[in-house]
Structure 1
Amino acid sequence: MGIVKISDQLHDEIRHASRVMERSINSQAEFWIKVGRLAERNPNLTFADIMEKELLREKQIQGAVSD
């Protein structure tokens, strides 16, 4: 684990979003980083497509764990 230096403005935006989404500031930042990485890797997908794909992937992982 490391430290990521970000601007005060971005930190404020993360703090606001974390309150709205009921996540910790770190969890909100991690979510945005993950979604951004997925968006860069899949430029043809919308945000909704990315979320649907990730939900399906998680269901598959949970199904494999419970088998």
Structure 2
Amino acid sequence: MPAVIKLSDQLVSDARPYAAAMHRSVPKQIEHWARLGKAAEENPDLPVGMIQELLISLEEAKAGKFSEYQFG
């Protein structure tokens, strides 16, 4: 459910170039950072890059973009 929250001007300003580079809206960029930060806090032993790849993998699986791993 969408909610109105107050964010600092600095956070919005910091998010703007990242949002443009990643073809996201500023709110979606901040949401992405929040999701990544939450996952990082829940998994402190994992590098952020690995967490990003895991989040991408989960979204790919939801979209049906996966195949069975072939050993050998």
TM-score calculated relative to the size of structure 2: 0.73
Q: CA RMSD in A?
A: 1.5
Give every structure 1 segment of 4 or more consecutive aligned residues whose post-TM-superposition deviation is greater than 4 Å: none
- Segments of 5+ residues of structure 2 without an aligned counterpart are 65-72
- Cα deviation for residue 44 of structure 1 reads 0.8
Distance 1:60 1:20 in 2: 24
- 1:8 aligned residue: 9
Rg comparison, structure with higher value: 2
SS in 2 for 1:10: helix
Higher helix share: 1
- Segments of 5+ residues of structure 1 without an aligned counterpart are none
Once the two structures are aligned, what percentage of the paired residues are identical? 35
Letter matched to residue 62 of structure 2 = I
- 1:35 aligned residue: 36
